[in-house]
Chains A and B, each alone.
Chain A
Amino acid sequence: MAGPGPRISPGDVEHVARLARLDLSAAEKERMRTELDGILAYIDKLRALDTRDVPPTSHAVPVTNVMREDEEWPSLPREEMLANAPDRHRDLFRVPKIIEE
C-alpha cells in the first residue's frame, strides 16, 4: 500500500469496478487508475498523523437513542410507488435474468 510505485493496480481497478457495478471501457479504466492514483497519493498525507489514541468520528451528532414508537403511518399508494418503475410487470418491479457472480 504505502511506499514507492503506483498505489492502485489495474487489477484493483477491475475489482473495484466490479464491486461498484460500473461498466468501464479499457481506456476509462486506465484513466481512472491514473486519476485515483494521484488522489490516493494526496490522501496518503493522512498517514503522517499519529492517531493511536484518537477516537474516530463515526457519528456526526453527539446524540444517542433516537428512536420512534411502533405506530403505523399510511403507506404510499401502490400507483405512486410504481410510477417511476423502468419496467413494471403488473404490480411488481421487473428485472432481467439474475445470474450469480
Chain B
Amino acid sequence: MSEHETIVGLEVHAQLATRTKMFCGCGAVFGAPPNTRTCPVCQGMPGSLPVINRRAVEFGIMTALALGCGINQHNRFARKHYYYPDMPKNYQISQYEEPLAEHGRLVIDTGPGPREIGIQRVHLEEDVGKLVHEGALETAQSSSVDFNRAGVPLMEIVSKPDLRSPDEAAAYLKTLRAIVVFLGVCDGNMEEGSLRCDANISLRPRGQAEYGTKVEIKNMNSFRNVRDALEYEIRRQTRALDTGERIVQETRLWDPDRAVTVSMRSKEFAHDYRYFPEPDLPPLDVQPAWVEEIRGRLPELPDARRTRFRQAYGLSSYEADLLTQGRGLADYFEAATQGGGKPKAVANWVLNELLRELPGDDDRAVATCPIPPANLAALLALIDDGTISGKIAKDVFEKMYRTGDTAQAIVSREGLTQVADEGALGSAVDRVLTEHVKVVEDFRAGKKAALGFLVGQVMKATQGKANPALVNRLLIEKLPKG
C-alpha cells in the first residue's frame, strides 16, 4: 500500500438541454455556423441585460433533488470577473455565496460495495464562447472567437473531496452522467462538451488530517481520460514527494496524446474574481411548493429503476443494467411487459434483437423505433400460443422492423403460421424418416444427436413453420425403438 492517500474532488459542468440560453432567447444549439446564434445579450453588447431562463432553474432544482441536495430557497447570481476573449462581458454571471443547492450525495460502487460521495454544491452559470487557435495555443500568433456557445446554461456540480482513487473518480462521473441524462437535463455528450470534468487532486501521507497541496487538472473529456490523467498525476506527485520536491498549486492540462499532464499556469496566487451580487438580476426565492411540484415529476432514477427491475421482474443484474442504460429503453421494456409480454422474454428480445437495430441509450431512436412496445408484446404472444415458432419469430421481427407492420399482419400475409396439424406434420415426418435411413439407424444405435438432425430436416421441409415440440414428439413416436 502506498504511503500516500489520494484525495480527489471533481467539478463537473453540464450544459443544460434547454431550448434557449441562460439569459437570452438565442437557441442553445450545437454545431451552428459561427456567430449565428447570438444577440446583444449573449455577446455582451453595451446596454444589454440578462433575464433568467426559468427552465434552467427547474433543471437545476431537478438535479439537486436527484442528488439529495438541500435547495437554498434564497439564492442569487453573482458576477465573476476575469478577462479572456471567450468572455463577452469579461465577467461570467454565476452563483457564489448563495448557490441554488448544497450538501447532497452520490452513491458509487467500484466493486467493494456502495460508497457515498458528498456533493458540495450545485449552481447555475453561463457558458463562455469557443476559442479557435491558429495551431496550438502555445505557439498561436492569434486566436479567433465564436460566441454561439456564450450564454448557454451550465450547471456546475462540485463534489466534496471524498474520492480516493482514479477508479472512484471515473465511477462518480459515470453515475453522475447517467443521472443527468436520465433526468433529461443534459445530453451527457462528453465529446461535444455537454459534460465537462475538472479534477482537484492532492496526496497526503496516510494518517495525516491536513490536505496536501491540490493541483487542478483540466481537459479530460472521457471517463478513460479522467482515470488515466489522475493515475498519471498520482505517479507524478508521488515521485515529486519522494524526492522532497514541493508540489506547486497550479492548473495542469491532460495531454491524451503524450499521456501526461502539462502545467498551464501557476496558481500560486488565486484569481481575484471580485465577486459581487449581480445587480441586473433580482434574487431567486424558490418556493417550497415549486420544489415539491418538481419533486413529484422526477422520473425514477437509474439506480432505483435497476433495483426494481431485478426485484419486480426477476431480471438479472446484467439485464437490469442494460435495460436501464437509457430512460427510453427502460420505458420501452416496461410498456412491452404491460402490453402482456412476459418480462424475461421481453428482456431477451429487447436486449438481443432490438439492440441489434438501435443504440439503447438513444432515447429518440427508441421512441421512434418501428416496433412500438405493444407490437413486440403481440409478437411474443404469437410465439407463446404456438402460432409461430421462435425461429420464424426472428424473421418476423426483422420484417416488422423494416416495414412497421404488426406481427399478425406479416404472419397472415406470408402464411407463416406454424404448422401444428398432426396430420400434415405426420406426413412430413414420415418423408424425412424415409429419406434419412442412415440417420435413423444412428439414432437406433444410440446417437441422441441424430434426433436433432432429424428435427432440423423436418423444420427445413416445412420452411421452419413446424411446431418444434410437436415435431419432436412425432419423431420419437415414429422412430424405431432401439
Within 8 A of A (CB), among B1-56: 18-20, 24-27, 33-40, 43, 51-56
Within 8 A of B (CB), among A18-33: 19, 21
Q: B193 in the interface, Cβ–Cβ < 8 Å?
A: no
- A3–chain B nearest beta-carbon distance, Å: 24
Q: B272 in the interface, Cβ–Cβ < 8 Å?
A: yes
Also in contact, A76 and B140, with CB within 8 A (given A19-B274, A66-B281, A98-B85): no
Q: B57 in the interface, Cβ–Cβ < 8 Å?
A: yes
CB-based contact A73/B35 at 8 Å: no
Task: Pick from A70, A90, A96 the residue with the most CB of B within 10 Å.
Answer: A70
Contact of B284 among A61, A64, A100 (CB under 8 A): A64
Q: A50 in the interface, Cβ–Cβ < 8 Å?
A: no
Interface residues on B, range: 35 or more
Residues 49-79 of A, flagged 1 when their CB comes within 8 A of B and 0 if not, give 0000000001111011111111111011110
Also in contact, A70 and B20, with CB within 8 A (given A59-B282, A63-B282): yes
- Stretch binding the partner chain, chosen from B141-149, B221-229, B233-241, B367-375: B141-149
Task: Kindly report which residue of chain A lies nearest to residue B146, judged by CB atoms.
Answer: A92
CB-based contact A78/B35 at 8 Å: yes
Contact of B143 among A73, A95, A101 (CB under 8 A): A95
Q: CA A61 – CA B132 in complex, angstroms?
A: 40
In the complex, what residues of B have CB within 8 A of residue A82's CB? 35
- B143–chain A nearest beta-carbon distance, Å: 6
Q: B283 in the interface, Cβ–Cβ < 8 Å?
A: yes
In the complex, what residues of B have CB within 8 A of residue A90's CB? 34, 144
- A residues neighboring B (CB under 8 Å): 19, 21, 58-61, 63-73, 75-78, 81-82, 89-98, 100-101
- If A95-B142, A95-B143 are given as contacts, then 9 extra A-B residue pairs at C-beta distance below 8 Å, sorted by A number, are A59-B277, A63-B282, A67-B53, A68-B51, A72-B27, A78-B34, A78-B35, A94-B143, A94-B144
Task: Pick from A61, A63, A68, A69 the residue with the most CB of B within 10 Å.
Answer: A68
Q: CA A81 – CA B36 in complex, angstroms?
A: 8
In the complex, 30 of the A-B residue pairs with CB atoms within 8 angstroms, ordered by the A residue number, are A58-B283, A59-B279, A59-B283, A63-B282, A66-B52, A67-B51, A67-B54, A69-B54, A70-B19, A71-B19, A71-B25, A72-B19, A72-B27, A73-B20, A75-B26, A75-B36, A75-B37, A76-B38, A78-B33, A81-B43, A90-B34, A91-B33, A91-B35, A92-B146, A93-B35, A93-B147, A94-B142, A97-B141, A98-B85, A98-B137
Q: B413 in the interface, Cβ–Cβ < 8 Å?
A: no
Main SS of chain B's interface residues? loop
- A87–chain B nearest beta-carbon distance, Å: 8
In the complex, what residues of A have CB within 8 A of residue B51's CB? 66-68
- B147–chain A nearest beta-carbon distance, Å: 8
Contact of A92 among B19, B26, B145, B277 (CB under 8 A): B145
Q: CA A53 – CA B385 in complex, angstroms?
A: 79
Within 8 A of A (CB), among B51-90: 51-57, 76, 83, 85
Task: Kindly report which residue of chain B lies nearest to residue A19, judged by CB atoms.
Answer: B272
Also in contact, A72 and B35, with CB within 8 A (given A67-B53, A92-B144, A95-B85): no
- B117–chain A nearest beta-carbon distance, Å: 31
In the complex, what residues of B have CB within 8 A of residue A68's CB? 25, 51-54
Q: CA A93 – CA B44 in complex, angstroms?
A: 14
- A19–chain B nearest beta-carbon distance, Å: 6
Q: CA A25 – CA B105 in complex, angstroms?
A: 53
